[in-house]
């Protein structure tokens, strides 16, 4: 349950920040280049008010590449669905995350961990770039560092109620 709450906190913070910042495009690298070691995609959806709460509805989707030099790049989009009118986390927002060389590692629990990151948020105003916006660091991403497809029950240890779905796909690049 702690991991569920952590994911919802990240969703809420990311949504709130994205809703408050720019709509113009960031300079995303999207480089599945020669250093790519892992490619990941993820989809977190929570559309059940009795489970997510009225202010936790929405989703969070993205991809990330983890490179052999310890750097990583990610593109993430979130969308909040507040009930009862407009608010700070309603609507879509996007951010790109850049992890410097040596900035990620596989933690003792087998997940990808981040030591530091620089994120650029875009949404409803000018872009905002922040260093380490989601403390504490190092931080567990919750993404397993083993190839496979993971569902909510794999990630969080319980069968989700209707309207709740978390999925992660991890691919290790051959010959690395």
Domain boundaries, the chain: 2-172
The answer to which of 25-39, 57-71, 74-88, 148-162 has the lowest mean pLDDT is 25-39
- Cβ atoms within 10 Å, residue 161: 12
Q: Over pLDDT 70: what percentage of the chain?
A: 75
CB-based burial, 37-57: b 16+ in 10 Å, e otherwise: bbbbebebbbebeebbeebbb
Residue 7 has pLDDT above 70, yes or no: no
Residue 16 has pLDDT above 80, yes or no: no
CA–CA gap between residue 40 and residue 49 (Å, rounded): 28
Give the dihedral sign, CA 116/140/112/27: negative
The answer to which of 30-44, 53-67, 140-154, 162-176 has the lowest mean pLDDT is 30-44
- State the pLDDT at residue 88: 53
Residue 161 has pLDDT above 80, yes or no: yes
Average pLDDT over residues 115-134: 90
Residue 176 has pLDDT above 80, yes or no: no
- State the pLDDT at residue 101: 97
User: Which tokens hold the place of 73?
Assistant: 């790049």
Cis peptide, bond prior to residue 97, ω within 30 of zero: no
- pLDDT class for 61, splitting at 50, 70, 90? very high
- State the pLDDT at residue 86: 52
- Closest CA relative to residue 38, chosen from 71, 76, 15, 83: 71
Burial label for 145, CB within 10 Å (0-12, 13-18, 19+), is buried
Q: Which residues pair with 94 in a beta bridge?
A: 77, 122
């Amino acid at each position: 349950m702690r991991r569920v709450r952590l994911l919802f906190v990240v969703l809420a913070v990311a949504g709130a920040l994205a809703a408050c910042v720019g709509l113009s495009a960031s300079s995303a690298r999207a480089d599945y280049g020669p250093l790519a070691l892992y490619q990941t995609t993820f989809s977190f959806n929570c559309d059940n008010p009795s489970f997510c709460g009225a202010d936790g509805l929405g989703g969070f989707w993205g991809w990330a590449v983890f490179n052999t030099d310890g750097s990583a790049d990610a593109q993430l989009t979130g969308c909040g669905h507040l009930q009862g009118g407009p608010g700070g986390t309603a609507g879509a927002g996007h951010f790109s995350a850049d992890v410097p060389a040596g900035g990620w590692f596989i933690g003792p629990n087998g997940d990808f961990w981040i030591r530091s990151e620089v994120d650029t948020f875009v949404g409803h105003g000018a872009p905002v770039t922040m260093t380490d916006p989601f403390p504490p660091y190092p931080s567990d991403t919750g993404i397993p560092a083993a190839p496979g497809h993971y569902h909510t029950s794999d990630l969080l240890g319980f069968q989700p109620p209707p309207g709740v779905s978390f999925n992660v796909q991890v691919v290790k690049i051959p010959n690395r």
